[in-house]
Amino acid sequence: MSKNNNTSKIEKSLKRRYLKENIFKASGYASIGIAFMFLVVLLADIGIKAMPAFIQTQIELKLDLSYESLQLNPESSVAEIKKVDFRQVIRKALRKQFPDVKKRKEKKQLYSLISSGAEYQLRDMVLENKELIGNEHSFNLYADDDVDALIKGTINRKLAQSERRVKDFKISLIEVLEKNNQVSKKFNWTFFSSGDSREPELAGIKGAIMGSIYTILVTLMLSFPVAVAAAIYLEEFAPKNRMIDFIEININNLAAVPSIVFGLLGLAVFINFFSLPRSAPIVGGIVLSLMTLPTIIIASRSAIKAVPPSLREAALGLGASKMQTVFHHVFPAALPGILTGTIIGMAQALGETAPLLMIGMVAFIVDIPQTIVDPATVLPIQVFLWADSPERGFLEKTSAAILVLIGFLIIMNALAIYLRKKFEKKW
């Protein structure tokens, strides 16, 4: 092929063009790489830090549950069992195991091997199975958070005594227990089954999870129908006039309002004016739905806008009314987009902290909420609370809570993808 003038010019420019293309590609790879690296570092850091939280150190003790030591008889009622001082039972067992410990200070150290919550653990076990009373049994009791940290290795035994929280004497006691195979590490079910606590080894996330679920449910129930109805009206029925333009602009503005402002609104209107319960998921849900409404409205509107006009024309041409056209054809076709928008809004609400601080969901709540009007907290606030706590054991709990929160978000996104795939249809 003969090369004319243009061919050589194009050839020259080709090199330059390909170079530019390659540079652009490389920078693209680099950006994705950096983003991915940050993600990996973040997840790995949280994951590693959270791991210990899923393990619980327990100490096996032989407890004397004879009638005389519990001051009970076989006919004792539940109320009487509840009154028993199980702490003394545990302390007695400890003293029995370490008869040499006599000094008051040393005794205090000895008693602090076991968590202060262990007596309630024991009481619950006994109440659950009354057959235990009257005999001697071995029980796995929660270790104190310092012991837990020492066993897991977060407290270094080799440091000088003054630089660590656990004294040499206590370590010697632990070593004895270890030698007797009385120390064991179990999966930490408590983390998932109990509410918050001041003691790290007793603190669980179930309260926050339930709080989050209730809050999100309230948000979904309120914001989905309202937002979808608003979007359908604005897209399909609203006349094009100034009033509607004004509303549109304000919906867009609402999406940009700082979330804490919604919190203030919630506090002023729902709690102070309407006297709804403080710290309750219902108020949190209302506030969050105010915040997610514009997100869902905007996503739903663009989904409805993306429905090809030919579909509307087809239905109208057959004599379907406006309403039938929208609900038989436009809405089902837009549903995947609407659902995606909704779930993005829900995920945003799930991670929101600021407005909930304002309505009191930051309170320390031990009980697991049973209804939407019970005081509750939510996952991100639980993270916030634990991150603020001085105890060493809460560090790992914080990371674990973050993991649970991320897990929730992943589940919601997976649901979004599943629903979109399910409702998506070609036309």
Partner 1 sequence: MNTQALQNNLMKDKSNEAILAEHSKTIGQPFCDNPKISTRDVNVYYAENHAIQDVSLDMGQNEVIALIGPSGCGKSTYLRCLNRMNDTIDSCRVSGKFIIDDIDIYAKSQDPVLLRARVGMVFQKPNPFPKSIYDNVAYGPKIHGLTSNKAELDDLVEESLSKAGLFNEVKDRLGDSGTGLSGGQQQRLCIARTIAVQPEVILMDEPASALDPIATAKVEELINELRKNYTIVIVTHSMQQAARVSQRTAYFHLGKLIEVGETKQIFTNPLHELTERYITGRFG
In angstroms, what is the minimal distance from the CB of 308 to partner 1?
8
Structural tokens at position 425: 């249809």
User: Given the complex with partner 1, which of 115 and 325 has the nearer CB atom?
Assistant: 325
In angstroms, what is the minimal distance from the CB of 40 to partner 1?
41
- How far is the first Cα of the chain from the last one, in angstroms, to the nearest whole number? 47
Helix (H) or strand (E) holding 185: strand 183-187
User: Given the complex with partner 1, which of 239 and 390 has the nearer CB atom?
Assistant: 239
**H helices, E strands: number in the chain:** 19, 3
In angstroms, what is the minimal distance from the CB of 249 to partner 1?
19
User: Given the complex with partner 1, which of 158 and 240 has the nearer CB atom?
Assistant: 240
In angstroms, what is the minimal distance from the CB of 120 to partner 1?
59
In angstroms, what is the minimal distance from the CB of 424 to partner 1?
9
In angstroms, what is the minimal distance from the CB of 317 to partner 1?
4
Binding residues for partner 1 (CB under 8 A): 239-240, 308, 310-321, 324, 328-329, 332-333, 425-427
Q: What is the CA radius of gyration of the chain?
A: 31
Q: Are 341 and 299 in contact (CB under 8 A)?
A: yes
In angstroms, what is the minimal distance from the CB of 240 to partner 1?
6
Q: Which residues pair with 63 in a beta bridge?
A: 137
> Could you give the CA distance from residue 39 to residue 280 in angstroms, rounded to a whole number?
33
Structural tokens at position 224: 């989905």
- The size of the chain, in residues, is 427
User: Given the complex with partner 1, which of 181 and 241 has the nearer CB atom?
Assistant: 241
> Could you give the CA distance from residue 58 to residue 36 in angstroms, rounded to a whole number?
38
Q: Among 411, 289, 383, 302, which Cα is nearest to 345's?
A: 289
User: Given the complex with partner 1, which of 129 and 324 has the nearer CB atom?
Assistant: 324
CA 380 to centroid of chain Cα atoms: 6
CB atoms near residue 193 (< 10 Å): 11
Structural tokens at position 182: 């009385």
Q: Decide the pairing of beta strands 55-64 and 183-187.
A: antiparallel
Q: Among 78, 189, 59, which Cα is nearest to 128's?
A: 78
User: Given the complex with partner 1, which of 225 and 317 has the nearer CB atom?
Assistant: 317
Q: Are 289 and 380 in contact (CB under 8 A)?
A: no
- As to burial, measured by CB atoms within 10 angstroms (0-12 exposed, 13-18 middle, 19+ buried), residue 355 is buried
Q: Are 119 and 37 in contact (CB under 8 A)?
A: no
In angstroms, what is the minimal distance from the CB of 250 to partner 1?
22
> Could you give the CA distance from residue 224 to residue 284 in angstroms, rounded to a whole number?
16
CA 141 to centroid of chain Cα atoms: 27
Question: Reduced to 3 DSSP states, what percent helix, strand and coil does the chain have, rounded to the nearest 5?
Answer: 70, 5, 25
In angstroms, what is the minimal distance from the CB of 309 to partner 1?
9
**Residues 374, 377, 378, 380, Cα dihedral to 10°:** 170
In angstroms, what is the minimal distance from the CB of 324 to partner 1?
6
User: Given the complex with partner 1, which of 66 and 310 has the nearer CB atom?
Assistant: 310
In angstroms, what is the minimal distance from the CB of 194 to partner 1?
49
Q: Are 171 and 144 in contact (CB under 8 A)?
A: no
User: Given the complex with partner 1, which of 77 and 241 has the nearer CB atom?
Assistant: 241
